[in-house]
Amino acid sequence: MKKVAIILSGCGVNDGSEIHEAVLCLLHLTKLGARYQCFAPNKPQETINHLTGKSDVSQQRNVLTEAARISRGEIKPLNELNVADFDALLLPGGFGVAKNLSDFASQGTDMQLDAQVQTACKAFASARKPAGYCCIAPILIPRVYPAGVKGTIGTDTDTAAAFIAMGGEHIGCGVTDVVEDAHYQVISTPAYMLAKHIAEADIGIGKLVKRLLEM
């Protein structure tokens, strides 16, 4: 039975993991007979009111605590992730990727990954273990793998340009498809970068998870 490490970035599309994407990842892994363990950085985050879309400075929230909502409490701090215990890595999207797992939201192509995120992702890359990145999460790929690594965020021109500027080879992709870099064992799908509803996101994520386990 394959075991997959999942890195979450909080809970909620605007300041954490995209909930639909995260749940679909967990569902497809389970249906295909894989086990998983969720992880998240244990650090504070900016909170967005998802009803108004505005920052809520009155709320003091933590990435790990928020991500525990999605995993039903079954989650560990990211610094406890040991690559030797897993067969693959999976990152759902959500704006928390660009704010909590990295600073892409504020720094663009000068982005740096959270130190623990970088350590974990690079460990899987160095061990030649497959990794899947959904939605905006593929923007991390050029900081994890060598120049020329292939990936997709769909068809968004600005984000694709940033992917290329950081050294990746961006490949345009439809919402229901995936892009695989066979050399580096990394696969990506646009999910809600393009999806208009959950059923569209489901198709691409389902393909990604299936291929991830095959890899």
Distance from the first to the final alpha carbon of the chain: 14
135 carries an active-site annotation: yes
* Nearest-angstrom CA–CA distance, 71 and 60: 20
Euclidean distance between CA atoms 14 and 49, whole angstroms: 8
Q: How far is CA 189 from the centre of its chain?
A: 10
Pairing of strands 186-189, 44-45: unpaired
Q: Exactly one of 25, 38, 121, 135 is catalytic; name it.
A: 135
Number of C-beta neighbours around residue 126 at 10 A: 10
The catalytic site residues sit at 135
